[in-house]
Chain A
Amino acid sequence: MFLLEYAVLAGILYGLYFSLIGIGLNLTFGVLKIVNLAHGDFLMLGGFLAYFLYSALGLSPLWAVPINLVLFVALGGLLYALLIPRLRQSRDPEMASFILFFGLSQAIEALAILAFGNNQRSLPAAAIGPGTISLFGQVFPLSWAAAGAAGLLSVLLLYLYLYHTRLGQATRAVMASREEAVASGLSVGRISALAFGIGLALAAIAGVFAPYLLGGISPNMGVAVTTTSFTVIVIGALGNPVGTVVGGLIYGLALMLMETYASSWATLLPYLLLVITLLIWPSGLLGRRLRSA
């Protein structure tokens, strides 16, 4: 019973963190209808920024959260302007986007290996704050709680942005129909560039906690993270950022339960969940109803 309670609580903390990992990918997918195959690589970059803030400047890795936000929204705007208009002119934009973002992922990984070396880095637990935290009688590392809180807060803020600001409403309009949004006179390019930047920033912010929750950061972690993110958003509902929370929580709970009771299977989890979801609920647990809401 004790073990189960621990697994469930840890699953929720991890689940909120997995929502954070996936939500940016889902936002990008919703707005641009492309899968950013370099998503995990941006998470990795955000993680390295936190790592160097701590190891080179002695700052708390948490400072990387606001820095990543600003930095990656800007980077996203730049990348969007550089890549997307060209993509739209191509004969088969969907296929071209896969190739382009796969290439981008490879390029980031290669550059990161050159810059940081090909080994795994981690941060001492103390970097984020002292020791542990007790939740409902169970003791967890403070970093887990911080990651869970960051996940929850990010989802809430994104929800407020999408549903209670003009720009957010316009973003949902682009998700609903890009064509209609252009016809309605929305500045679709600028709205999409911002959404793309926010998507990258959310990944980079998730990267800050990767040394603690994903067991470290290394230049070649991107592909695995992208697979996990994709699983999370497919479980929830593709194209509906808020639905990502459901996917994240299911993923986190499943992971913790498996690590507790069948740990040798845990590495297969993303693929298992992905296959099961696609077979049983092809449009995600939240299905069509919320898909583009």
Chain B
Amino acid sequence: MSSAALLEVEGLASGYGKLQILSEISFLLAAGQSTVLLGPNGAGKTTLLRTLVGLLPLWSGEIRYQGRELGRLPPEVRVALGISFMSELGVFPSLSIRENLVLGGFGLPAHLLRRRVKEMLDLFPDLASRPGAPAGSLSGGQRKMLGVAKALVRQPKLLIMDEPSAGLSPLFVNKVIELLRRFQGQELALLIAEQNVRFLDLAEQVIILEGGRIQAAGPTGQVTADDRVRRAYFSLDTPS
């Protein structure tokens, strides 16, 4: 694909304490490309994302971002380099909507930060109507919106998301997908861990993770055409 790989992962291994969860994980993300990481509960999706962001130590292997080795850098440096992470929680519940956005851009120069926060509020009328309200008072769907907005304040090159659909009704899942579509392409690459196959609509690339290893990976159409994959993940869906 594109020669300008944004993120290159090679032979990654990681886990908790002495317990190894991930082994031999290798894949490429191209700039501006969207990838969905699919896998059953306990497959290691969250573990992989947390290792990429630096919340978990990299045991072995390499993570290169724009050609630069990330493996030993602390999370705040990775975030400053343009990798945003939206965890399952995604927001600071006791802080206000505006404060959440401001914290999303922590470290940006004041004038730039003010402008970005205003841009985000303009994009999200639901949030702009009461920016002083605590994030914890938002509905599940609105909270995800805020999580996305907060992660985008920095204008990252790569947005990593852990199950943005968790706990959302199908209607809100559609809304989140619609929202992400707006930011897709151009400068922003997405890496989304999901169990909801609806997110495949967004993806140019699919990675299937099972038992801490990559089972299949490739362009969305190709992977979803695979019989084994279809049986495991699309028992109710028919491929388009």
Interface-lining segment among B8-16, B96-104, B188-196? B96-104
* Interface size grouping (class) on chain B: 20 to 34
Which interface class (under 10, 10 to 19, 20 to 34, 35 or more) fits A?
20 to 34
Would you call A180 and B87 a contact (CB within 8 A)? yes
A175-192 interface with B by 8 A CB criterion: 175-177, 179-188
- Whether the pair A176, B87 counts as a contact (CB closer than 8 A) is no
One of A107-115, A130-138, A151-159, A166-174 at the interface:
A166-174
Number of A-B contacts (CB under 8 A): 67
1/0 per position for B70-111, CB-CB distance to A under 8 A?
Answer: 000001101110001101011111110001001110110000
Q: How far is the CB of A165 from chain B (nearest CB, A)?
A: 11
Task: Check if A293 is an interface residue, CB within 8 A of chain B.
Answer: yes
User: CB distance A187 to B92 under 8 Å?
Assistant: no
Give the residue name and chain of the B residue nearest to A240 (CB): B94
Return the chain A residue nearest B103 by Cβ.
Answer: A173
Q: Hey, which chain B residues are within 8 Å of A172, CB to CB?
A: 92, 94-95, 99
Chain A, interface SS category: helix
Interface string of B141-182 (1 = CB under 8 A from A): 000000000100010000000000000000000000000000
Are the C-beta atoms of B103 and A183 separated by less than 8 Å?
no
User: Does B53 sit at the interface, judged by CB under 8 A?
Assistant: yes
**B112 interfacial contact with A, CB 8 Å:** no
Contact B87 A179 (CB under 8 A): yes
The reply to whether A176 and B95 form a contact with Cβ atoms under 8 Å apart is yes
Nearest opposing residue in chain A for B151, CB measure: A184
Question: Is A218 on the interface with B (CB-CB < 8 A)?
Answer: no
- Let me know if B128 is at the binding interface, CB within 8 A: no
Q: Which residues of B contact A (CB under 8 A)?
A: 53, 55, 75-76, 78-80, 84-85, 87, 89-95, 99, 102-104, 106-107, 134, 150, 154
The list of the 3 closest CB pairs from A to B, nearest first, reads: A185-B79, A176-B92, A176-B94
